[in-house]
């Protein structure tokens, strides 16, 4: 963390290591619950502020998938590979995917408009196969 400009404290290290071990896209509440299991002395506000700091320095990425909650995942500076997201609007399932052809086309479109891409987020919203099978939307 200190290599990314953050003052390293024991509480921040505990929160960051817990965050890195978690799978998927976690809310502040989920991270707080995981931290509290082994370190009940660390408060909710400390977890919240630390996640905001991790986001600011690139060690975490914040996402809003339309459910009213911020979700976090390790950022690219935390050795997390770039990927995009498919989000089910019925059940909230989030699928991560990588597609090099999409990445190539995005760079090509940006270059054709004189842009150099420094970062991007792609989120595709729809209805997953499970929800479609339960009558949750178009087939």
Q: List the chain domain ranges.
A: 1-76, 81-139
Measured in whole angstroms, how far is the alpha carbon of residue 66 from the centre of its chain?
14
Find where tokens 């595709």 sit: 124
pLDDT value at position 8?
A: 83
Confidence of residue 129 (pLDDT cuts 50, 70, 90): very high
pLDDT value at position 7?
A: 80
Q: 81-139: which CATH number, 3.30.590.20, 3.30.1490.190, 3.20.20.370, 3.30.540.10?
A: 3.30.1490.190
CA distance 139 to 131: 10
Q: β-pairing, 60-64 with 70-74?
A: antiparallel
pLDDT tens digits, one per residue of 103-127? 899 999 999 999 988 878 888 999 9
- Averaged confidence pLDDT in the chain: 86
- Count other Cβ atoms within 10 Å, centred on residue 47: 26
- Cβ(107)–Cβ(92) below 8 Å: no
CA distance 52 to 30: 15
- As a CATH number, domain 1-76 is 1.10.10.10
> Against a cut of 0.75, is the pTM above it?
no
pLDDT value at position 37?
A: 96
pLDDT value at position 135?
A: 74
CA end-to-end distance (rounded Å), the chain: 46
Find where tokens 């090509």 sit: 108
């Amino acid at each position: 963390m200190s290599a990314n400009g953050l003052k390293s404290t024991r509480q921040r290290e505990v929160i960051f290591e817990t965050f890195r071990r978690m799978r998927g896209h976690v809310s502040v509440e989920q991270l707080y619950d995981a931290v509290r299991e082994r370190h009940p002395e660390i408060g909710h506000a400390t977890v919240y502020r630390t996640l905001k700091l991790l986001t600011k320095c690139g060690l975490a990425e914040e996402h809003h998938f339309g459910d009213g909650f911020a979700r976090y995942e390790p950022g690219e500076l935390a050795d997390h590979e770039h990927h995009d997201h498919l989000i089910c609007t019925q059940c909230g399932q989030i699928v991560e995917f990588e597609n090099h052809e999409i990445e190539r086309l995005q760079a090509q479109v940006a270059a054709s408009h004189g842009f150099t891409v420094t970062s991007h987020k792609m989120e595709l919203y729809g209805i997953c196969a499970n929800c479609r099978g339960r009558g949750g939307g178009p087939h």
